[in-house]
Amino acid sequence: MNNLFETGVERYSVEDDRIDVLGDGKSRRRIEVIVYYPIAGKGENESAYLSERKALAVSKAFLIPKKAIMKQKVPVYEGMSMAEGKFPLLMFSHGYNSFAESNTYLFRDIAARGYVVASIGHPYEAVACEFEDGSVIYYDKSINRRMYMRGPLSAIRAQNRLLKDKGDAGEVSKKFDKFQREHTPYLIDRIPEWKKDTYRALESIKDRYSEHLDLTNGVAVSGHSFGGATAYALCHDEGEFTVGLNIDGGLFGEYGDSALKKPFYQFSCSQNINVESGVLINHEAPVYTAVFSRMQHIGFTDVKFFLKAAFMVGRLDSNIMYKHLLEGHLFMLEKYLKGLDVELNRSTDPSVVIEEHDKNIVFS
């Protein structure tokens, strides 16, 4: 797969009407937006992977030397005009205590093939969000105390039992729902707020880039971890989002018996399947799954490329992981946003099992 364009990047921020319940509880919620797009001609003025402030915050959060982060070179260019034409849109959300640039390799390569990609920074819940006025909001550590109703140790024990369960998709999905209600109702409540963040960012993108957007077939949405759960919620509940992808995110949220009516792609570490099995329950459109063995949760982000600690990122070769992550996104975007006749890419590597699930399968 060859890039058609080089990739530009623009960073800005928007304010919402909501009063943010996080932070001081008095300020309007501000959202960081980073847009990656195909550019006209050759790129100039290469952007740093992360700013000094954000690199330091990520270094502390992930225990990665700051120098290793600052050495990253993902060629995206500031101050460049967008290429002529109209391009489909993909929205993306990072994971909890992660950062908006967490999958810059992916954003760059998708935009270079003729898409606009908007990554959203969720304030107080990201490692850091930077804004146009020069201010920065860091992760609110008080969340760690509020996140688990019965305390972190109780939640970890319950989660470990759930991850080891041998039930079918319907059974473990019900057990996950019980787990989230008993241990993490805080995260259930955050899904609607992240959905609102995404919609506010989408409004701004439509205003800023209207002449370059092709929304004929709707908007695609993806995310890692809690951002992937948000992608599922948007695809499940909101008509404007017509295709979704979830990168190893437990399906937090309220869904009851309602069916998923949009095509969806679920990427999973083999050990996390039980908290993500809800994607297979009551779906009325095709669902695709890619299950990776020898992978760890953080390994689906760019951290895989500059951190070699297997206990954090897994032992699967980063190039194998990334190949299937990119191909899966392009398959969904080309098939459902561009309407192309494309085939699902299977895997010849035993560490990656890719399947299509019939849209008529309904688990009880």
101-122 pLDDT, tens digit per residue, is 999 999 999 999 999 999 999 9
Residue type, 189: D
DSSP, res 206? H
Alpha helices in 23-120 (DSSP H): 52-62, 66-70, 104-111
Give the Cβ contact number of residue 181 at 10 Å. Answer: 12
pTM over 0.85, yes/no: yes
Is 281 or 12 the better-scoring residue by pLDDT?
Answer: 12
Across the range 149-155, mean pLDDT stands at 90
Across the range 128-157, mean pLDDT stands at 93
Summarize pLDDT for 211-266 with one digit per residue, the tens: 999 999 999 999 999 999 999 999 999 889 999 999 999 999 999 888 899 999 99
Give the Cβ contact number of residue 17 at 10 Å. Answer: 8
The three-state secondary structure class of 188 is helix
The contacts of residue 120 (CB under 8 Å, 6+ apart) are 31, 32, 33, 91, 92, 93, 94, 100, 197, 198, 201
Across the range 20-32, mean pLDDT stands at 94
Q: Are 326 and 332 in contact (CB under 8 A)?
A: no
Is the pLDDT at 298 greater than 70? The verdict is yes
Give the CATH number of domain 7-357; options: 3.40.190.10, 3.40.50.1820, 1.10.260.40, 3.40.50.720.
Answer: 3.40.50.1820
Q: What pLDDT, on the 0 to 100 scale, is given for residue 360?
A: 53
Q: Domain map of the chain by residue range?
A: 7-357
Summarize pLDDT for 160-202 with one digit per residue, the tens: 999 999 888 889 999 999 999 999 999 999 999 999 999 999 9
